[in-house]
Amino acid sequence: MEASPTLNLQKLALLPKQTPTQDFKRWNSIIKHHTKLKDDQAILKIYTQMEAQGIYADSTVLPLVLKACGKLQAIEKGKKIHNEIRDTDFVNDVRVQTALVDFYCKCGLIDDARNVFDGITERDLVCWNAMVCGFVGCGCYEEGVRLVREMEREKVRPNSVTVVALVSAFGELGDLMCGKEVHGYCLRNGFFDWNAHVGTALVGFYSRFNVKVASDLFEMMDSRNVVSWNAMISAYLDAGESWRALELFERMVMDGFRCDFVTMLMVIQACSEVGSRELGMQVHQLAIKYGFINDLFIVNALLNMYGKNGSLGSSLELFESAPTKDIALWNSMLCLYAEIGSLEKAMALFIRMRLEGILEDERTIAILLSSFEDLDNGLRNGRSLHGHVLKSAIENNKCIGNALLGMYAKRNSIQDAFQVFDDVEDSDVVSWNTLILALARNGLRGEAWELFGMMQQCNINPNSHTIISIIAACDEESFLNIGRSIHCYVIKHDIEINPSLNSALTEMYMNCNKELTALNLFESFPDKDLISWNSFIASYVKNNQPHKALLLFRRMITQVVPNLVTIINVLSSCTYMVNLPEGKCLHAYTIRRNSSLGFDLSLANAFLSMYARCGSIQNSERIFNDLPRKNVVSWNAMIDGYGMHGRGYEAMLAFSEMLEDGMEPNGITFVSALSACSHSGLVPKGLQLFDSMVQDFCITPELAHYGCVVDLLGRAGCLSEAREFISSMPIPPDASVWRALLSACRVYSETKLAKTVFEKLIELEPTNAGNYVLLSNIYAAAGLWSEVSKLRMQIEENGLKKPPGKSWIIVRSTVHSFTAGDKSHPQSNKIYAELGSLLSCIKNVGYVPDLRWVLHEEEDEEKIKRLFSHSEKLAVAFGLISASGGTPISIAKNLRVCGDCHEFCKYVSKLVGREIVLRDCSRFHHFVNGHCSCKDYW
């Protein structure tokens, strides 16, 4: 049978009709012949004819037929054969059984395979290997490994086929140790010396861990095939060593190996990563020489390569010269245009594509839509694409409709979104969800809820995504009832509560001030994952309960491994509470877990900032200096840190080092630098910075920058300059700008200016009681008591609440919090006793209570009493009796420190010989030996 296959087929197909004999030998030999030709389709066809004639295949041919079924994924056919032979002797033939195992594995029916395998009584090596390879091929790596152990227990020795499967299983499992053991086994049994497959598998295995080891192994291989070369080239590519991949390819060609399709694709990819146009052209020539150029995959890869190394012309040439173009090729060309922002060309190409009768796919639309996203006129372009899509009447395509819907939703263009939504004929749950999410995100709660109701009327069943979108709109207490009814809906309709939905429900209850319900929901959820924990911690942070966030974190780490999001959330709790000890613990924890969290610059920056904001600028400096590379956030955090601690010169030094380092400052850098100047009274330097920001760095000043300059001038007593500066602003000043000036009025007792500024301020912020308090501070200091009481009446009439002043201190990881006149602390008596003795001591050395800081009009004696129980003083006294030794006493206050308490801290620091560190809402005060780092400049 040496004739050509087509000739044979025709002849043989006629044969049975002419001679309806039972000559099954002949049939079988035909099948064997097709097996040699690897023509699986023909095998199945012949077998069907055999069946029709009632002729059975024998045990040598059945496996061949089953193998063809496996390759063609002909599940029904294979199962039919299995059924037919169930009552025959074939079912006990190990060759047939093995073929069945192999067939089921190839079709992904691993349980069926295992059933057949378990029924085999006389298992040989081939049979074991079929099952092992089946497990590994279906991604059941652990089962594969277990089966090899079982096989060894039954005294069947693994061969090279087993070993190749095992190595790839350990590779997928990331198990270096076990892989090495297998390597040892190969060496002992000499597999490595003669079998290219084993060597190749090991190269692939080691390349997952260390490309150098893989390359050493590759060099030691005695026998290599194309697949081995491909494995090593791929290893270099994955490791990002494109040059080496190309060098190896050169050697491969020199060694006389003929590269295959896979090699070619990888080499093109390497070229595109190296970015050399010349190399790219050489590879292109090779592709032509080796005859790959008619393959659309290769053409597509070359086209992308030219696009990446900037030869768009060559890409276009290749595109035009391709004899046939599939949708992938059109998409690649569109993508190249979209990437360089040449939207007109992209649109023209798209239209041409349609004219040539090629129907776009989802990727086409996604490319076009995403290319509009960053453009200012993106919405307009999106609309014109939408128009085009409409014209082409592919609106019925749900996927495209949903893509458009998503684009409008992302751009918060609700009306357009509704338009698309109405046009999509068979809208599905994704369409509804997209629209509901867009409405909820834009605060259109009513519409979102209405749509939720309509959706059910249209018989579209909401899924967990729907609920997550809709429940996000219930974000304050007044929506609690709606939130509850949605929760009921979930339970009633049996919607699967996955971790994300459970987190969304929990968050809803937290936001609606139902902490207990939220906590119950969280605790009783059995499948808590990382997201559940992170989301609950974030809820605590968001709802100003940082202490609970920390407690929850400690519990969390006993159950799941935290990720970056967790650490950054918990870190923000530490920062908020000025909880330095806890921040340090977290730092140590992160360093210990370094390998799993990895070095992450954003994490390092978060720690840097935490230390600065918790008072330990030395630790910030240490982290900063150890950073292997710094980004603009690192520099900003360092400059900001120096500024908060009143170390203006260091801040300026850091700023100039940043420039020397070649780092480009951004708007935030200047906010930090300007406020550093302001905190340290560096007026000329600050003004110069502001000029330089505009002139040299072309940064348009924003409100925050103007606020800093007003603060800078105001603190330095240049009030009229500050006033003028505000009038010269090209944008309308906001409340924070005016407040900066009002604060300056307080320091310099400018009652007249204060009144005008205050009027501006309450126009912008009519309900902020803090502004009234600030002005009444100024009047009180000037002794204008009638004005003070007028203000107090205004506050009461408008029903405004002044935020209560609160100071806290952390002792042995417990937060002790105090308000003015607080007697709720268990050690209250001791605290007041300590405070009394402190006061009498410092009075002896010159401290005079500054009654101007009492806002109430009352007898001096009462005022003194009130002044002496300010929250800062209580916290200092408690700090002195509870934290022994010479460590600094670290206190935080939610508002600005009061002037009398500031004076008190200075005296106490000298009296007891200890540093007091106080962080108020705007900066740090370090009190040492009777002086404050702010130089009374705050």
Q: Which residues bind Zn ion (CB under 5 A)?
A: 870, 898, 900-901, 925, 932, 934
Tally Cβ neighbours within 10 Å of residue 98. 23
Smaller CB separation from Zn ion, 416 or 900: 900
Smallest separation (angstroms) from Zn ion to the CB of 934: 3
Residue 918: its H or E element = strand 916-919
Rounded CA separation 550/552 (Å): 5
Smallest separation (angstroms) from Zn ion to the CB of 891: 12
Tally Cβ neighbours within 10 Å of residue 496. 8
Smallest separation (angstroms) from Zn ion to the CB of 735: 25
Smallest separation (angstroms) from Zn ion to the CB of 743: 14
Smaller CB separation from Zn ion, 432 or 904: 904
Q: Quote the tokens at residue 472.
A: 């996000």
Whole-number Cα distances in Å, 705 to 384, 494, 638, 734, 921? 40, 54, 18, 12, 19
- Give residue for tokens 């407690």: 551
Buried b (16+ CB within 10 A) or exposed e, 19-58: eeeeeeeebbebbebbbeeebbebbbebbebbeeeebbbe
Smaller CB separation from Zn ion, 430 or 854: 854
Smallest separation (angstroms) from Zn ion to the CB of 874: 10
Smaller CB separation from Zn ion, 156 or 928: 928
Smallest separation (angstroms) from Zn ion to the CB of 748: 17
Smaller CB separation from Zn ion, 364 or 890: 890
Q: CA nearest 215: which of 195, 187, 193, 238?
A: 238
Smallest separation (angstroms) from Zn ion to the CB of 902: 5
In a 13 Å sphere around the CA of 335, the CA atoms on its Cβ side amount to 18
Rounded CA separation 880/827 (Å): 13
Smallest separation (angstroms) from Zn ion to the CB of 839: 12
Rounded CA separation 288/294 (Å): 8
Q: Are 138 and 110 in contact (CB under 8 A)?
A: yes
Q: Are 325 and 333 in contact (CB under 8 A)?
A: no
Whole-number Cα distances in Å, 38 to 35, 53, 65, 67, 339? 5, 24, 11, 11, 44
Smaller CB separation from Zn ion, 587 or 896: 896
Paired with 892 in beta bridges are 808, 919
Smallest separation (angstroms) from Zn ion to the CB of 686: 19
Smaller CB separation from Zn ion, 273 or 900: 900
Rounded CA separation 299/295 (Å): 6
Whole-number Cα distances in Å, 26 to 22, 624, 717? 9, 82, 110
Smaller CB separation from Zn ion, 621 or 900: 900
Smallest separation (angstroms) from Zn ion to the CB of 898: 3
Paired with 811 in beta bridges are 814
Smaller CB separation from Zn ion, 334 or 716: 716
* CA 757 to mean position of chain CA atoms: 44
Rounded CA separation 628/645 (Å): 25
Rounded CA separation 63/277 (Å): 51
Smaller CB separation from Zn ion, 90 or 779: 779
Smaller CB separation from Zn ion, 93 or 900: 900
Q: CA nearest 892: which of 620, 576, 610?
A: 576
Smaller CB separation from Zn ion, 613 or 925: 925
Q: Quote the tokens at residue 247.
A: 């060098």
For Cα atoms 258, 259, 264, give the angle at the middle one, nearest 5 degrees.
Answer: 155
Smallest separation (angstroms) from Zn ion to the CB of 639: 20
Smallest separation (angstroms) from Zn ion to the CB of 209: 55
Rounded CA separation 84/99 (Å): 15
Smaller CB separation from Zn ion, 106 or 926: 926
**Residue 412 — φ and ψ, nearest 5°?**
55, 30
Smaller CB separation from Zn ion, 134 or 879: 879
Smallest separation (angstroms) from Zn ion to the CB of 462: 55
Smallest separation (angstroms) from Zn ion to the CB of 777: 11
Smallest separation (angstroms) from Zn ion to the CB of 873: 7
Smaller CB separation from Zn ion, 244 or 925: 925
Q: CA nearest 40: which of 68, 67, 70?
A: 68
Rounded CA separation 693/706 (Å): 12
Rounded CA separation 411/426 (Å): 23
